[in-house]
Amino acid sequence: MKTPHVDVRNLKLVYKTGPQTELAAIDEVSFSIGKGETLGIVGESGCGKSSLARAFLGYTRPGARIAGGALVVGGVDVFALTGEALRRYRGGRAAMVPQNPLSALTPHRTIGQHMVELIRIHNAAGNISPTQKALDLLAAMELPDPSAIFARYPHQLSGGQRQRVVIAAALVAEPELIVLDEPTTALDKTVETQVLDLVSRLQKRTNTTLIYVSHDLNVVARMCDGVLVMQHGKVLEDGPTKEVFNAPKTEYARTLIAAIPKLRTGTRPEPVRLATAAPILSIRDLDFSYGGKRSRFIPRFFAAPPARQTLKDISLSIAAGSTLGVVGESGSGKSTLASLVAGLVGGNGGRIMFDGKPLSGLAGGRGRDLRRRVQLIFQDPASSLNPQHTVEQIIARPLQVFFGMTRAASRDRVVQLLDELDLDATLLTRSPRQLSGGQQQRVAIARAFACEPDLVLCDEVTSALDVTVQAQVLQQMKRLQREHNTAYLFISHDLPVVAEMSDQMLVLEAGEIRDYADTGTILTNPNSAYTKNLLAAFASATAHSTKRTFQNVS
């Protein structure tokens, strides 16, 4: 075997957890990657894979440090680099494609400013101007109209465009190693395919070594030559992708692979619950458009631009204790639907009935009891949990506000709620930033259930989670639903997940209902062409990954 391009030996990375205590996030990890190869690193949240990703760039978050071992990239001992040399290595020889491109781009700088800055810092322009180089890179990422993208701010781009921009930024100095941290988490299925294909083509041309850190095993199966399965900071399996996927050696890897959501089109074991029960939520002819409202007091000159129709003639109902799944790609209006029911935005037309009474206007005008009975869980727990509060404060707050509990009484209930979600009581004093993504989302779920709600709006609640964590969280949510007889409006772009959770399903495209029926009916006998295509895309995504795996064998 030739000298590996990336060689990791006995790497140990620890986090400070107290004045004297440290916790190993990466524990004696060793592996290597050949030049131009692609390695996938998979594992649950908190397994240390993101810390490992950052370690490739000689970077640790505040509070963490490298406690031992070596990491060599192309003959360079990364941990021996300091000051200017380390700065030139980062972005120069090794680059990182960050997890969330929206928060990873500076909000007040244009895409052009980001690109030109990096090109200047790394002297990467060659004999063309930095601006031209930036435009070329954006064009190479197959972004339409690079000069328009160049002038825009991050928030003005779509998720797919932002993802391409951060990849372009990583390519600035033609690094020999690129680490991609959850590169497609924020993308729709169709966009994900495009971005991954693009990265593959670029890699073939430049012979770059790639590291995919991902919870999405489908992506890893498709893109990677080798795969590393991590748990609790240790490497459990390390081998060619097809071997690990087809014949996992450890129990954990088997669970991980089994947890990949698959579309089950066969007969559903669970009967549709309470289909005849009175609906807890019913919506009739709901319309909504953003920017359409015009104040009576402000003259026309100041008024907003014409409205964009986001939702059109939406009618649905959810029986108490049951789940309605809403599927759609980004921009289909599915999150707007949740915002309307939650009262985060006011409706323009139609009627929302909750428990037989009209539920109108904004949450602030609904009264305490209604606000308690309708709860919302967001996609990103990191930003929906107050970073200044401890876990106890976060979950205790609704108890104190809605039930007037004392501190002592609320603490008992908080521990009980944590227990229901299989979370340890030792987490009480932690702040959200100290938790893993799965733990954060479970805290958010506990907060919602602390209110004893009748309806919980779940907006992409498991989209940011690893498959095994996702499977656990979904199971816990089902259990909570049974125990508390709570209805879910379960929104996701991930069709297999929605199908798994829902009694009934609703397919949204461009603000209109394409299909609305029992889950079994949708999966086996969809009405619209759109739903048929969607089902086919998810079915082929699973099939494709296995096919690729077999191709690697030969």
Tell me which residues touch another protein (CB under 8 A): 54, 57, 59, 61, 87-92, 95-96, 98-100, 103-110, 117-118, 121-122, 153, 155-156, 166, 169-170, 290-291, 293, 298, 301-305
Q: How far apart are CA 43 and CA 25, in angstroms?
A: 13
Residue with tokens 């089950």: 264
340: enclosing H helix or E strand: helix 334-342
Tell me the closest approach of the beta carbon of residue 226 to another protein, in angstroms.
Answer: 23
Q: Could you tell me if 224 and 212 are in contact, meaning their C-beta atoms sit under 8 angstroms apart?
A: yes
Which C-beta is closer to another protein: that of 170 or that of 499?
Answer: 170
Which C-beta is closer to another protein: that of 165 or that of 421?
Answer: 165
Q: How many CA atoms lie within 13 A of 119 on its CB side?
A: 21
Q: Could you tell me if 366 and 449 are in contact, meaning their C-beta atoms sit under 8 angstroms apart?
A: no
Tell me the closest approach of the beta carbon of residue 148 to another protein, in angstroms.
Answer: 15
Please list, in sequence order, all residues whose beta carbon lies within 8 angstroms of the beta carbon of residue 111, skipping any fewer than 6 positions away: 105, 138, 149, 150, 151, 152, 153, 154, 157, 165
Tell me the closest approach of the beta carbon of residue 61 to another protein, in angstroms.
Answer: 8
Tell me the closest approach of the beta carbon of residue 286 to another protein, in angstroms.
Answer: 20
**What is the DSSP secondary-structure string of 120-187?**
HHTT--TTS-HHHHHHHHHHHTT-SSHHHHHHS-GGGS-HHHHHHHHHHHHTTT--SEEEEESTTTTS
Q: How far apart are CA 338 and CA 336, in angstroms?
A: 5
Q: Could you tell me if 38 and 225 are in contact, meaning their C-beta atoms sit under 8 angstroms apart?
A: yes
Strands 504-509, 76-77: pairing is unpaired
Tell me the closest approach of the beta carbon of residue 297 to another protein, in angstroms.
Answer: 11
Which C-beta is closer to another protein: that of 64 or that of 244?
Answer: 64
Tell me the closest approach of the beta carbon of residue 494 to another protein, in angstroms.
Answer: 23
Which C-beta is closer to another protein: that of 127 or that of 302?
Answer: 302
Q: How far apart are CA 140 and CA 174, in angstroms?
A: 13
Q: How far apart are CA 336 and CA 348, in angstroms?
A: 12
Which C-beta is closer to another protein: that of 99 or that of 502?
Answer: 99
Q: Could you tell me if 490 and 502 are in contact, meaning their C-beta atoms sit under 8 angstroms apart?
A: yes
Tell me the closest approach of the beta carbon of residue 275 to another protein, in angstroms.
Answer: 40
Which C-beta is closer to another protein: that of 63 or that of 265?
Answer: 63
Which C-beta is closer to another protein: that of 168 or that of 513?
Answer: 168
Residue 217: burial class (beta carbons within 10 Å; 0-12, 13-18, 19+)? buried
Tell me the closest approach of the beta carbon of residue 122 to another protein, in angstroms.
Answer: 7
Tell me the closest approach of the beta carbon of residue 460 to another protein, in angstroms.
Answer: 19
Which C-beta is closer to another protein: that of 2 or that of 302?
Answer: 302
Which C-beta is closer to another protein: that of 138 or that of 471?
Answer: 138
Which C-beta is closer to another protein: that of 170 or that of 474?
Answer: 170
Order the strands of the 349-354 sheet from edge to edge.
308-319, 279-290, 349-354, 357-358
Q: Could you tell me if 211 and 199 are in contact, meaning their C-beta atoms sit under 8 angstroms apart?
A: no
Tell me the closest approach of the beta carbon of residue 182 to another protein, in angstroms.
Answer: 12
Find the length of the chain: 554
Question: Within its chain, how far is the Cα of 183 from the centroid?
Answer: 10
